A and B are shown apart, each in its own frame.
Chain A
Amino acid sequence: MTFLRAIAFAALAGAVSAPATFAAELHHIQITAASPSEAVRWYGRHFDCTAVASQPDTADCDGVQLIFAVQPTMGSSQGTGINHIGFSYADVVSKMAELEAVGVRGSGVRLQRFDDGATLRELPGMFLHGFVFDPWGTRIEVLQDPQNEGFHQVHLSATDPAETLDWYRKALGGRPAKFKGREDALRFGDVWLFAAQHPDGKPAPTRSRAVAHIAFDVPDLGRAGPEMRRSGADFESEPETPDNARSPAKRAFLRGPDNVRVAVVESGYAGIASKFEAAAAQEAAEPYAVPRTPWGEPDMQGVWTGNSAHGIPLERPQDLEDVEALTPEQAAARRERGTLGSIWGYEREWRDTTLGYDKMTPSTQVAMIVDPPNGRLPELTAEGKRMAAEAQAERARKAAKTPDGPEDLNMYHRCITRGLPGLMMPGIYNNGLQIVQGPGFVAIQKEMIHETRAIPTKPRQPVGEKLTSWLGDPQGRWEGDTLVVETARLNGRAGYRGATAAARLTERFTRIGPTKLRYEFTIDDPTVWVQPWTATFAFDLDDEQYELVEYACHEGNYGMFNALSGARARDKRAAESGE
C-alpha cells in the first residue's frame, strides 16, 4: 500500500460513525426526456405538479423539482439504483382509475399490472399502492398515505439497503425513521427515502437513464462539502457554479452507493439552461461530387438509415402552414411522440430500448409532400372518394369483429409487405437500407420485413402484363447522378395511400452529400387524385455502426398466432355468455 492510499484509508476509517451535522432536503430529480415542455405538462396533468415560471424545463411537485433534461432516454429508472419515485393520494383507487382512463397511447400513462391483473395491491400494514410509468421510462408509485399527500418518496434499489441508507444518513443528514413503524427509511423534510434489496447483482448506473440523478439541497456547500468528504463521500465533481447556471449557487456531484449519481446543490440553485445540441447536419455549401463505382456509375453503396426522417408526417399539419422548418426541440419532441405513439403496446423494457436506440438527430423537415406546394395530398377524384369511402367501410367492418383469419389483418401484420413506396418509409425501428451495386444493377434492401429490390439500370423488356406482383417490375436509369426508378406491373394490393395498380410510381435516389441520400417519389394516379403528387425525405449513411439485422418477420410472427387465438378465445367467451 502506498503512503497516500494509506492516508485515504485512515481518513475513511475514522469517519464511520459521524452523521452529518446539517440536514439536507431533497431538491430535485433529474429526468431525461426529449421534450421538457411536454414532460412539464405531463406531470402537471397527472400528478398535480406546477410549471416553474423562470425554468421552462422544471415542474414543482410539493417543493421537489422535477428537472427534465434533453437527452435520448436510455431506459427506465427500473434496474438502476433509483427504482422509482412515489406520489401519495388520499383516495388512490380513484386516482388510479383516473390514470387508467388516460390510456397508454402516445404520451399517455402506462400502467404496471400485478400478476393477478390488478393495478392496485394492498401492502399489509402499510398502504394500497400501484405503479405507472411516465412516457420517458420513470417508474412512479401511486400510493395511499393520507398523512403525507403529494410527492412522497424516492425508492432506491440497493445491494445492501441498510448500508445504503446509512450512507445517505452520514453524507446528507437524512433522519432515520420507521415508515408505519415497520419499514426502515430516512426522511429528508417531508420526503421519504426507501431502499429495497436490488434483485440481481449490481444496479445499473443512473446516469443517462430515465432518472439520471437525485439532488439534495444544503444551505452552504462550502461548509457542507468538507464534512461530506470526511464522512466518506466520493466527489465526482467539485462544488462550482455550472456553465449556463441560472443562479450563482454551486453544485457538486457525488458517487453514491449502487451506481446512483447524487448531486448536492446550494439553496437557490435553479438548474442550468440546457441547450439542445442540434447536430450540424447542414449540407455542404460547395457542390458535392458523387463518387463513382469502379465501372463508372454513381456510387450509392453502403448502409443507410431513415432514422432521422422518422416522425416527418406525409402531409403538412394545419398549424404549421407558414413554418419553414421545426426547431430542433420541436423535431425531437415530434419524433418521440411518433415513437411513443407507435409502440405503446410493447413490452416496457423493449420500448425503453427503442426510445434510446435512435441516436440520429431528427429531421426538422415539416412534411414530406413538396408538391402540391401546400404540402397536402391533392384532392381526390370522384372515383377516389368512392374508393376511399369503401376502404374505410371495409376497415370499420373488420374492426367491428374478431378477425376470421389472417386475411382480416393487414399486409404488414401478415409480414407480406409494406408495398411501394411504403416499404421505403421510415418507421420506429429497423430503418436500415442497404445498397449494393454491380454493373447494371442496384440492389436496394430494406431491413423491415427484409424486402430487396434489384433495379436494372440498363433498359430491359418489362415482364408481360399478366405478371403482376406486390413490388412490381422496376426499371431504373441514371439521370446525371440520380437513379430514377419507374415501376410497372404492380398488383395493386398494397397501394400507398389508396393508389391503384394503374398508378405510375417514379422514384429518384440522389446522393446529395457524403452522408445524405435524398429519396423522392411521385405518384401519378389519375383514378384517385386530380393531380400527381411528390414527397421527399433523406436517408443518412451509417456505415460504421449500423448493420441490417435479418428481419425474419413471418418466421417469428407470434403476433399472428396471438391475434387469432385471442380472437377465438373471445368468440368462445361471447358464445358462452350467450351474446
Chain B
Amino acid sequence: MDCRSRGVGTCLAVVAAAAALSAGLPLAAQDDAAPRAYDGHPDLNGVWQAIGTAHWNLEDHPSGPGHPDLGAIGAVPPGQGVVVGGDIPYLETALQQRRKNFENRMTEDPEAKCFLPGVPRATYLPYPLQIIQGDRKIMILYGFAEANRTIHMDKETPEPPPLDSWMGRSHGRWEGDTLVVEAEGFNGQAWLDRAGNFSSSSLRVEERYTPLGSHAIMYEATLTDPEVFSRPWTIRLPLYRRLEEDARVLEFKCVEYAEDLMYGHLRREPTR
C-alpha cells in the first residue's frame, strides 16, 4: 500500500480497516486509541522518535560512501524517500546550491558543526524528542544541540517573529485530532538533511501531527519557499513512541565534538 501518495486520513482508514479485517475484529474493539488530554484533544505528551533515513536524505537514495576514515560506520545507508510524490521541486537555480552543499557536506553541514537543526530537520534527526503539552504552550525538546521549540497555542493572531532564528517561531492550533503548527521566521541557514537539501529565510512550514493510535504520530510538513522551490511540497513520516519505561531525551551537548572541525586550524598545533 502506498500511503505516501494519499492523504493521511485515507491512508489511516485503510490501514485500520486492513488491520481490523485481518484480525477479524470490529474497529471499536481496537485497544489502541490515542490518549486524550484533560481538554479532550489528543495527548501528545511523551518521548517520540523517527526511524529511517530521512536525516540522511529526504529523497529516495541508494547507499553511498561516507568519510573514508570511518569505513562502513560512516557510510550512507540506502533509504526510501519521505517526500510525497517523489522529488523536491527545486528551482533550477537552487539545484546548484544543493550540489554545492552536497560536495561540501563533511564540513559545511550545520549538523556537523553542532548548530541548531531548524524545522523540520529537528524532527527526523536520529534522536528522540519530547513533547510537553500543557494548556497554553506546547514545548518540544529535541535530542540534538539542545534544540527546542515553543509552540504558542494561546495566540489568537499569530505574532510576527521578533527576529529570524534557526528554529523559527511556531503557532499551533487543533484541527480535529490533528495538531497543526505554522512555523516561520527562519534564518535560512539550516539544512534539511545530510545530503545538502536546504531552504531559505523565506521558508514557511506547516506541520501536522496526527496520532495513529497511542504509539505513533503521523508527521507531515509542507514546505513553502518561493526562493528555492517551484511549489509547496510535503514530507510524511511516522514518529514512534519510545516504549522503554525510562525513555527520555538525554542531554547531547555536541559543541565540544565540533570544535576541532571549526577551530582546529586555529590551534597552537593545528589539527586541520
Contacts and interface: CB of A to CB of B under 8 A. Distances in A.
A454 B259 CA distance: 27
B141 interface: yes
Contacts of A402: 268
B127 interface: no
A565 B39 CA distance: 56
Contact of A555 (B116, B136, B150, B249): B116
Secondary structure call for the A interface: loop
Contacts of A555: 110, 113, 115-116, 166, 189
A439 B45 contact: yes
B173 interface: no
Interface residues of B, number: 47
Nearest to B147: A450
B32 interface: no
Nearest to B245: A461
Contacts of A550: 116, 165-167
A357 interface: no
A64 interface: no
A294 B135 contact: yes
Contacts of B245: 461
A416 B256 CA distance: 7
Contacts of B250: 463, 467, 469
Given A414-B259, A449-B146, A454-B248, 7 more contacts: A301-B136, A436-B136, A436-B138, A436-B139, A445-B150, A552-B165, A561-B266
Contacts of B267: 404-405, 564
Interface in A391-418: 402, 404-407, 414-417
A356 to B, nearest CB: 18
Nearest to B166: A552
Contacts, number: 122
Contacts of A568: 266, 268
A568 B145 CA distance: 29
Nearest to B37: A439
Contacts of A552: 115-116, 165-166
Interface in B154-175: 162-163, 165-167
Interface residues of A, number: 48
B130 A294 contact: no
Given A405-B267, A434-B150, A469-B251, A301 B137 contact: yes
A554 B163 CA distance: 18
Nearest to A566: B266
A6 interface: no
A499 B165 CA distance: 35
A560 B265 CA distance: 12
B263 A564 contact: yes
Nearest to B132: A438
B256 A405 contact: no
A178 B133 CA distance: 72
Nearest to A461: B246
Given A438-B132, A552-B116, A406 B268 contact: no
Interface string A559-579: 011001101100100000000
